[in-house]
Amino acid sequence: MTVHDASWVRQTMVAASERPSAATGVWLWARNNLFNGWLSTVLTLVSLIAIGWGMLSIGPWLGNSVWNASSVNECRQAMNGAPGACWAVIRDRWTQLFFGFYPAHLYWRPVIAFALLFAALAPVLFTALPRRMIWFSILYPGVAFWLIWGGSLWSPALAYLGFIIGFGLFASLARVNMGLATAAAVIGAATWWIGATGPLTSQLSAIAPIDLQTVASRDIGGFLLSIVIGVAGIAMSLPLGMLLALGRRSGMPLIRTMSVVYIEFIRGVPLITLLFTASLLLNYFLPPGTNFDLILRVVIMVTLFAGAYMAEVIRGGLAALPRGQYEAAEALGLDYWKAHRLIILPQALKISIPGIVNSFIGLFKDTTLVMFIGLMDPIALAGAIRANTDWQGIYWELYIFIGAVFFAFCFGMSRYSMYLERRLKTDHR
């Protein structure tokens, strides 16, 4: 008898059995993440009790919601004395929360500007799109300004021409001297904007009028105001922060000292102080009769404030790079600007993505501080709505709605930063 004929030798393989139910799916995830130790189990049970208590407390209030009413008294009558949420105030005043006192028949203009914002951001945020679309991203600020504020289209067009003049002067003199090229570009563009833009706009408007109804800045409010200030501050604070970070690490004592003084001064002063400066004190330093738009002043101050914090975030990324990266750039024969543009800054920015996005989120939420200088942001509009006799007594519904909208924007930025980190990840850990 051979070994293979022995009764104790298996002749066929046993079919694979399914894993126990406790070792698959939800049960496995719960055991590994919620009940993987006594401390985790206690925290899970306490959390479940807190969530259950919250649902039992808030559930009846949400379940007795009223959506159709024209005043808080109608809401209370529909609730029959029981506690409940009066969401009718959102339905009645949502346009005011989003647009402020913007003329109702012109709502289509900020809506189009907001839709075009995504088209302008797409080629910047996603590399799969054609790079030639970046031209629309460059032109978008002028288009958005014209749509929201109105006036003549020639005004933003001539403003862009100032940038072209400055770039032309810089490109023509850059090979001679970088400092001279930069000074010539700034002086040339500023001279064009101050001396030529106004008269030429009037002349071109008389010859070929391309105008939209003008909307005053005092009528712009709500989430429209927060988005304008937030997007403008985010777009301009990043390049300003990069320049300040490079200036703080510069080997030239004057540039380094100026950058350090600026960053430390801005970081030591509250944002609300700078906003009051923009609102009240700045006019004292301007020539008599100068009309400097308040929203523009706020955007400038917010940009200067955020740029200082952005500089420190980027400086941390620069400090995290090994010295070998700088030596490699020098070995390739690259000058200072090419080395930072092609090798140093891309890596430093990748390292700094979490801090950069965190600063962006904080900047967007800080736009609510403009209520203290008289601008009607969503929080200020909520107070104005509550002051109306029809909606006196409304409190939680307005702030919950405003918080939910801010959360949607901030959560979107957070998720994109996570996507960007995964896309740019080059290690295999």
pLDDT 10s digits, 94-121: 899 999 899 999 999 999 999 999 888 8
In a domain, 129, yes or no: yes
CB-CB contact of 318 with 250 (8 Å): no
Q: For residues 105 and 2, give the distance between their C-alpha atoms in angstroms, rounded to a whole number.
A: 96
Residues 62-84 have a mean pLDDT of 82
In a domain, 21, yes or no: no
Task: Using pLDDT thresholds of 50, 70 and 90, give the confidence band for residue 217.
Answer: confident
CB-CB contact of 241 with 310 (8 Å): yes
- What's the structural domain count of the chain? 1
Q: For residues 395 and 388, give the distance between their C-alpha atoms in angstroms, rounded to a whole number.
A: 12
What does the pLDDT look like over 274-307, one tens digit per residue? Answer: 888 877 777 676 666 667 788 888 898 899 999 9
Q: Identify which has the larger pLDDT, 222 or 282.
A: 222
Region of 272 on the Ramachandran plot (φ > 0 left; ψ -120 to 50 alpha; else beta) = alpha
* Whole-prediction pTM: 0.84
* Token representation of residue 264: 């430390």
CA-based nearest residue to 110, from 185, 18, 219:
219
In a domain, 22, yes or no: no
Q: Which domain holds residue 139?
A: 93-424
CB-CB contact of 85 with 77 (8 Å): no
In a domain, 57, yes or no: no
Task: Using pLDDT thresholds of 50, 70 and 90, give the confidence band for residue 6.
Answer: low
Of 164-168, 174-178, 218-222, give the lowest mean pLDDT range: 174-178
pLDDT of residue 49: 93
In a domain, 98, yes or no: yes
pLDDT of residue 290: 61
CATH code for the domain of 390: 1.10.3720.10
Mean of the per-residue pLDDT values of the chain: 84
In a domain, 8, yes or no: no
What does the pLDDT look like over 111-164, one tens digit per residue? Answer: 999 999 988 888 888 877 777 888 888 889 999 999 999 888 888 888 888 888
Q: Identify which has the larger pLDDT, 178 or 205.
A: 205
In a domain, 73, yes or no: no
What does the pLDDT look like over 242-265, one tens digit per residue? Answer: 999 988 888 888 888 998 999 999
In a domain, 75, yes or no: no
Residues 210-221 have a mean pLDDT of 88
